[in-house]
Amino acid sequence: MKLYLLKIILPLLVFFNAYGQEKEATLEVKVMNDMKTPVANIEIQLYKNDSIFITGKTDSLGIFNYYKDFEINTEYSISVICSEFQNSKEIFREKTDTSKNIQYFYELVCMNIIEDKFDNSAYYELNEVQDFSNFELDWFKSIQMEYPNLCINFYQWINPKESKSIARKRMKNFERKLIEFGIDMNRIQFIPKINYLNEKALAFDYRSRILGEVMSMDGNCK
């Protein structure tokens, strides 16, 4: 059994640099993965007062540039779409922003799906907290036995129609089922943050899901 059957969430670092004198400004977006490798073909959307006016993609160096005037008294934001499951939108220039030199920085967690024969997420119908499909407990237990130093984090992505209380109950029940099946819980962490599926993900599959991230292979699980 290969580890690449597990889904892995990779952090992306996105750097913003804007230099402006009222109207004139330069925006540069650089996208890298956690190995400091540039990520090409990441979709970038530039918004002006909540309306898209520029779209593009990062180049082979992971860079997207915009060299034009920014209107004063106008709010600008940027959306970085790293997969069908997630995007992130951030304001980088507010209406009241009059600074000449500003540097913007934030971290974006982007899900990179790596799979072989099947998708091994646990899928849930809308508002379901007990029964899931697709995730195989015996398969997961065999992975733990084959790789005794494997450490896993579980994340949750939900349909926006669901409440966070539903999501918390779902994760608690999922944890209980792992315990009942004899899974080694000392090598597992459950991430409390609840993520929402975006429109592209919902169009592909509306179901909420719990998925795993390989954190380490050295037994250091905390």
Domains of the chain (ranges; CATH) run 10-111 (2.60.40), 118-216 (3.30.1330.60)
Tell me the per-residue pLDDT of 147-194, one tens digit each, with 9 for 90 and over.
888 888 899 999 999 999 999 999 999 999 999 999 999 999 999 999
Choose from 58-67, 89-98, 119-128 the range with maximum mean pLDDT. Answer: 119-128
Q: In what order do the strands lie in the sheet with 188-196?
A: 122-124, 208-216, 151-158, 188-196
Q: What percentage of the chain has pLDDT greater than the value 90?
A: 29
Question: What pLDDT, on the 0 to 100 scale, is given for residue 24?
Answer: 54
What's the mean pLDDT when you consider all of the chain?
75
Tell me the per-residue pLDDT of 75-101, one tens digit each, with 9 for 90 and over.
778 887 765 444 566 666 666 655 544
Question: What pLDDT, on the 0 to 100 scale, is given for residue 214?
Answer: 76
Residue type for position 160 = P
